[in-house]
Amino acid sequence: MNTDTPKRSALTINGRTLSFVDFGGAGLPLIALHGHMSEGMSYADLAGRLAPDWRLIAPDQRGHGASDRAADYSREGYVADVEALMNHLGLERAVLLGHSLGAINAYQFAARHPERVTALINAEGCAELGLDGTNPLAFVLNLPDTTAISREAFVAQLGPFAPYLESAVHERPDGTWGLHFRPQDIYDSEDKVHGDHWADWTGSACPALLVRGTKGGVLSAEQAEQMTARRPGTRLVELETDHFVHANDPAGFANAVRSFLTAV
């Protein structure tokens, strides 16, 4: 387990702040990218389980957590943020791990900068999604885009969404409380992550681990099999949990990641 205290830092990208958490230690660098409506600290448990061999660094991706909102949520923008973070940290190469949105960002970065990625870990990140034109995160537009004077008051505004989003309620710099993201940003970002990304998924040759949740995950068994077959050097692990594999089966996910990294 890692006994280092997580350190929060930030870099500035064209006037916009990108915040990140460095869980510390002397291990090899592993950059972990969260999914929509999550944040870097969601990897705290994983960081502890992988230490001391791995030093996990997790940004709050644009529009999430302590990072600033961005002018756009394009594929190019997310990928550029990863490059800026690695440059800021002085990392020529690192392992990239991502969940959902973060997984797509990770493998797209690897496709564009293969020389900088030593291994790739994809948790529930599809190679194609949203081709029917629907946005599964449309429900976020019904969330309150306001603040309240206390945490309890804002959680009450969430109504039926409270059990799922209570952890996303943060204190703002002005002392009020609200979500750490803006609902419209999440909707727009989800729209822009949709597409056929097979060329990106198969566009790097480093060893890769693909993790699928078998109980309500977004990644279907059929697509997971195709992703494994079409990308040489890819290992598939299926966990008996839902889309949030690292949160709802933390031990199983960490064991799969550790086993993969030890092998490669």
Angle at 25 between CA 258 and CA 33, to 5 degrees: 60
- Rounded Cα distance between 70 and 178, Å, is 18
Share of residues in the chain with pLDDT > 90 (%): 97
| Percent of the chain clearing pLDDT 70 (strictly above) | 99
Compute the average pLDDT of residues 114-136. 97
Summarised one tens digit per residue, pLDDT across range 203-229 is 999 999 999 999 999 999 999 999 999
Pairing, β 54-59 against β 16-22: antiparallel
The pLDDT value recorded for residue 4 is: 77
DSSP assignment, residue 85? H
Tell me how far apart the alpha carbons of residues 101 and 164 are, in angstroms, rounded to a whole number.
18
What DSSP state is assigned to residue 148? B
What pLDDT does 5 receive? Answer: 87
The reported pLDDT for the residue numbered 2 is 56
Quick check: helix, strand or coil at residue 237?
strand
Helix H or strand E encompassing 98 = strand 94-99
For helices 101-112 and 183-193, the axis angle rounded to 10 degrees is 50
Compute the mean pLDDT over every residue in the chain, rounded to the nearest whole number.
Answer: 97
Give pLDDT tens digits for 3-56. Answer: 678 999 999 999 999 999 999 999 999 999 999 999 999 999 999 999 999 999
Q: What are phi and psi of 241, to 5 degrees?
A: -155, -170
Q: Above 70 in pLDDT, residue 1? A: no
pLDDT tens digits along 13-22: 999 999 999 9
How many angstroms separate the CA atoms of 25 and 231, rounded?
A: 32
Q: Is the pLDDT of residue 103 over 70?
A: yes
- The single residue listed with the structure tokens 């660094």 is 57
Residue 183 has a pLDDT of 97
Residue given tokens 């990106």 in the structure block = 200
Tally of CA atoms within 13 A in the half-sphere of 43 that contains its CB:
30
pTM exceeds 0.85 for this model: yes
Give tens-digit pLDDT for 178-203: 999 999 999 999 999 999 999 999 99
- CA 96 – CA 120 distance, rounded (Å): 5
